[in-house]
Amino acid sequence: MKTFFIILGSLVALFIITITGVFFYIKSSNSKVSDPAISNLITIDGFDTTKVDSIYKYSKHFPNHSQIAIGIIKGDSISYYGILRDTDTLHTISNKDSVFQIGSITKVFNSTLLADFIINENIDPKKPIQEHLDIPLNSIEKEGSFITLENLSNHTSGLPRLPDGMLASSMLDPDKVYENFTEDNFEDYLKNKMQPITKPGSKMAYSNLGAGLISYTLSKISNKKFEELLQNRIFQKYNMKNSSTLRENISNLVVKGRDNQGNITPSWKFSSMRGAGAIYSNVEDLSKFIIANFSNDTVLGLQRKPTFEINPERSVGLGWMIDKKNDAKWYWHNGATQGYRSCMILDTKNKKGVVVLSNINAFYPEHQKIDKLCFKLMSVL
């Protein structure tokens, strides 16, 4: 991970670059890691001493009021574990139905929709993106190659991480960095400013903009909102009853996001570019989705096919990062927004998976330990 600091008077603007993309935040430069918590964690069915010790190792420095929900999947069996930091102690709790913003894991479901459209609507993901839209796009071509839906899904579109000017316009209102970028702003960008930086299809460069353009395009093709598409084509199909982009629909279950000191912080709202990170969900629903991937579901099978090779050990499917692990493949994605951090991994060959959701701030110094915990638990299944 690389972190860049630009000094603006007494404030520090942070650009955090991870697989989840570029996130923007303005805060004081004082970010302190919390003192280690005392462990009051207990072993339960499915979570032996090895797993519980790992949970403590990677979560002991998270701030007060931190909450983590975990699901581990083996075959069609699911085990859940939850923790909460109360003052100086970590306690075991039950929170499998608690809802968190999942951030960029949204991109997985965004591309599940794309795979569904490819199979059921005969959408060609290799056609220039302009052929799917009525509005004129500024530029989708560079060096003889055109941006396609497949390029947008596997981050080879050549587009920047975020639209030009989006970050600068939100510097004085960082809680609304996505909310202030409206559908009108997005369409203005597409018609007057959009252009690939590199040749489409030539290299992977993570783009929240690209993911937002997928959800925008599928909504225009179907004349339905992103939320309606998710509910009708994914969440109802896989019995994901507490997943939504509309926080108000599941507000009674939502765990409040926390800042670096453990205080309640506003979650990001998405006015446009919803496919980049707008979904809320829980470990119960995401575990169901993982199990669905163990079946012969044609949509999910298409989504997992590699579409671009980064290196011999890592490739990209439609929305999935794919890592080679001995004789198997791990399909994974993580997420980070203001107040939340998440990670999800699955292995279809060995039929196992892990989901870790939390209300750890994306800008907390040790936020990446959510990913480390997720991969560690996967390695001991």
pLDDT digits (tens, 9 = 90+) for 320-342: 999 999 899 999 999 999 999 99
Q: Using the structure block, give the residue that is written with the tokens 């292995």.
A: 347
How far apart are the C-alpha atoms of 178 and 195, rounded to whole Å? Answer: 20
Position 16 confidence tier, pLDDT thresholds 50, 70, 90 = very low
For 24-33, 248-257, 287-296, which range has the lowest pLDDT when averaged over its residues? Answer: 24-33
In a domain? residue 292 = yes
In a domain? residue 47 = no
Token pair for 347: 């292995």
377 in the Ramachandran plot: left (φ > 0), alpha (ψ -120 to 50) or beta? Answer: alpha
100 within 8 A of 280, measured Cβ to Cβ: yes
How wide is the angle at C-alpha 354 spanned by C-alphas 367 and 315, nearest 5°? Answer: 80
151 within 8 A of 210, measured Cβ to Cβ: yes
- Res 169 pLDDT > 90: no
CA distances from 349 to 305, 353, 357 (A): 14, 11, 24
Residue 120's contacts (CB-CB under 8 Å, 6 or more residues apart) are: 299
3-state secondary structure at position 323: strand
In a domain? residue 43 = no
In a domain? residue 85 = no
Token pair for 170: 């939100």
pLDDT at 28: 39
Q: Which residues pair with 128 in a beta bridge?
A: 148
Of all residues in the chain, the percent with pLDDT exceeding 90 is 88
- Res 174 pLDDT > 90: no
Domain range for 157: 2-32+99-379
Position 179 confidence tier, pLDDT thresholds 50, 70, 90 = very high
Position 206 confidence tier, pLDDT thresholds 50, 70, 90 = very high
Token pair for 366: 């040790």
Q: Of residues 202 and 5, which shows the higher confidence score?
A: 202
Q: Are strands 89-93 and 38-40 parallel, antiparallel or unpaired?
A: parallel
pLDDT at 355: 98
How far apart are the C-alpha atoms of 250 and 24, rounded to whole Å? Answer: 26
In a domain? residue 73 = no
How far apart are the C-alpha atoms of 288 and 118, rounded to whole Å? Answer: 23
Mean pLDDT calculated for residue range 133-158: 98
Of all residues in the chain, the percent with pLDDT exceeding 70 is 91
CA 141 remoteness from chain centre: 28
144 in the Ramachandran plot: left (φ > 0), alpha (ψ -120 to 50) or beta? Answer: left
pLDDT at 17: 35
Position 166 confidence tier, pLDDT thresholds 50, 70, 90 = confident
Token pair for 33: 């890691």
**For 235-284, how does the pLDDT look when each residue is reduced to its tens digit (9 = 90+)?**
999 999 999 999 999 999 999 999 999 999 999 999 999 999 999 999 99
Position 170 confidence tier, pLDDT thresholds 50, 70, 90 = low
Mean pLDDT calculated for residue range 112-135: 97
| Number of domains the chain is built from | 1
In a domain? residue 182 = yes
3-state secondary structure at position 378: helix
CATH number at residue 230: 3.40.710.10
In a domain? residue 51 = no
How far apart are the C-alpha atoms of 18 and 339, rounded to whole Å? Answer: 16
- Res 6 pLDDT > 90: no
- Res 183 pLDDT > 50: yes
157 within 8 A of 151, measured Cβ to Cβ: yes
pLDDT at 55: 98
How far apart are the C-alpha atoms of 230 and 249, rounded to whole Å? Answer: 14
What is the residue-averaged pLDDT of the chain?
A: 92
Token pair for 80: 């859940």
Strands, E, within 218-299: which ranges? Answer: 280-281
Mean pLDDT calculated for residue range 50-60: 98
- Res 380 pLDDT > 90: yes
In a domain? residue 361 = yes
- Res 180 pLDDT > 70: yes
